């Protein structure tokens, strides 16, 4: 394998260099997908210059399965490239039974990171995230655990995920008091899920807070859990995420929502793009977005997504055409569990 012969564009934020398109391992890295298929996808990503691999303790199923798959690769084909890879993981959602198997306590975060490092077969991750805001745990405890991970050398940097604008401001204040920097924020963002643009109590959106703080923004689900692929233009095909009962719920595929998706597909085709490429370029239109996470199933899907980063930026005419159809579709899975708290 020859790493990084064909690099995708990169962006900088808060001391990190990230490819504009990164590989998220939320989907397709559990027991239902063969290791050979996982291996082919990750190695293709690295060959294409996607040096950022994003994980979490609950990615699988079962939990830690995705990290174990990447750990096998870090121990073999990717061993020589570890210093050029950005490996990120998170803790916050349920990873094992019991009172310390989820949420935001220091005990859980520390134990989870140790398990993640064993699964990944590495002594550190490049970014360790608090995966969600936990109202039952003081922020000083949660952010303090992140600070402890950096001081112990188990994480090079830390961040938060799906925290609202107000909670992000609070987390930044606590981090400053603890003498630690929150480097990145990871949040869902797409043409059908624009919650990061909503103003907080001080009038600033999450994007504003992140930008003002000099944090990076890692946007996940830029294809709206697959709604912004072309698979659902004419119904729910067998074998799709919606048909399999995945994170894309069939009830979201209303005629109104699909009408917007079809209109966006027409805009994409008129400009010589695919709908996924339009969706990625739209998220990347904002310079505060450092990278978008894609969750491809195959190397071919990955190649199409990477082409979205290589296309020309959206024109003013395209942005104007998109705006009436880039509407919130009620698909923010993470609202009630984090960003609305």
Is it the case that residue 185 has pLDDT exceeding 70?
Answer: yes
Structure tokens at 19: 């490819």
Q: Where are the domains positioned within the chain?
A: 10-339
Is it the case that residue 193 has pLDDT exceeding 70?
Answer: yes
pLDDT digits (tens, 9 = 90+) for 34-91: 999 999 999 999 999 999 999 999 999 999 999 999 999 999 999 999 999 999 999 9
Kindly report which listed range (172-181, 196-205, 314-323, 328-337) carries the lowest average pLDDT score: 328-337
Alpha-carbon distance of 184 to 196, in angstroms, equals: 14
Q: Which helix (H) or strand (E) holds 140?
A: helix 139-151
- Under DSSP, is residue 43 helix (H, G, I), strand (E, B) or coil? helix
pLDDT bracket for residue 232 (50, 70, 90): confident
Domain covering 10-339, topology: TIM Barrel (3.20.20)
Helix orientation angle between 65-74 and 35-47, rounded to the nearest 10 degrees: 60
- pLDDT, position 166: 98
- pLDDT, position 199: 97
- pLDDT, position 250: 80
- pLDDT, position 284: 96
The Cα angle at residue 282 between residues 26 and 226, in degrees rounded to 5 = 35
DSSP 153: T
Tell me which of 188 and 241 has the higher pLDDT. 188
The mean pLDDT of 199-219, rounded to a whole number, is 98
pLDDT digits (tens, 9 = 90+) for 10-30: 999 888 999 999 999 998 999
Tell me the pLDDT of the chain averaged across its residues: 93
Structure tokens at 84: 């050029």
Neighbouring-strand partners of residue 193: 190
Is it the case that residue 263 has pLDDT exceeding 80?
Answer: yes
Contact 30, 61 (CB under 8 A): yes
The mean pLDDT of 280-293, rounded to a whole number, is 96
- pLDDT, position 2: 47
- pLDDT, position 244: 55
Is it the case that residue 330 has pLDDT exceeding 60?
Answer: yes
Is it the case that residue 194 has pLDDT exceeding 50?
Answer: yes
Q: Is this prediction's pTM over 0.85?
A: yes
- pLDDT, position 192: 97
């Amino acid at each position: 394998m020859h790493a990084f012969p064909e690099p995708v564009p990169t962006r900088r934020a808060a001391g990190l260099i990230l490819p504009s398109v990164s590989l998220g391992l939320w989907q397709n890295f559990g027991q239902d997908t063969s290791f050979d298929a996982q291996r082919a996808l990750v190695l293709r990503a690295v060959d294409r210059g996607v040096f950022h691999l994003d994980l979490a303790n609950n990615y699988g199923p079962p939990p830690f399965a995705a990290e174990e798959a990447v750990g096998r690769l870090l121990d073999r084909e990717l061993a020589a490239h570890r210093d050029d890879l950005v490996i990120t993981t998170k803790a916050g959602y349920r990873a094992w039974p019991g009172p310390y198997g989820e949420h935001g306590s220091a005990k859980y975060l520390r134990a989870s990171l140790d398990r993640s490092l064993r699964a990944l077969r590495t002594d550190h991750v490049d970014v360790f995230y608090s995966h969600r805001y936990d109202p039952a745990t003081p922020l000083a405890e949660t952010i303090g655990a992140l600070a402890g991970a950096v001081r112990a050398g188990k994480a090079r940097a830390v961040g938060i995920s799906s925290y609202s604008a107000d909670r992000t401001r609070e987390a930044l204040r606590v981090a400053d008091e603890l003498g630690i920097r929150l480097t990145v924020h990871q949040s869902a963002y797409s043409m059908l899920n624009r919650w990061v643009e909503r103003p907080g109590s001080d009038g600033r959106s999450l994007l504003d807070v992140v930008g003002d703080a000099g944090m990076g923004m890692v946007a996940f689900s830029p294809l709206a859990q697959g709604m912004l692929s072309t698979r659902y233009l004419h119904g729910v095909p067998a074998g799709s995420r919606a048909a399999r009962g995945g994170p894309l719920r069939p009830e979201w595929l209303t005629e109104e929502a699909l009408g917007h998706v079809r209109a966006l597909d027409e805009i994409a085709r008129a400009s010589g793009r695919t709908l996924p490429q339009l969706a990625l370029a739209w998220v990347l239109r904002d310079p505060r977005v450092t990278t978008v996470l894609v969750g491809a199933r195959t190397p071919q899907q990955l190649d199409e997504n990477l082409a979205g980063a290589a296309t020309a930026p959206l024109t003013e005419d395209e942005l104007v055409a998109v705006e009436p159809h880039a509407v919130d579709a009620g698909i923010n899975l993470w609202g009630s569990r984090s960003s609305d708290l």
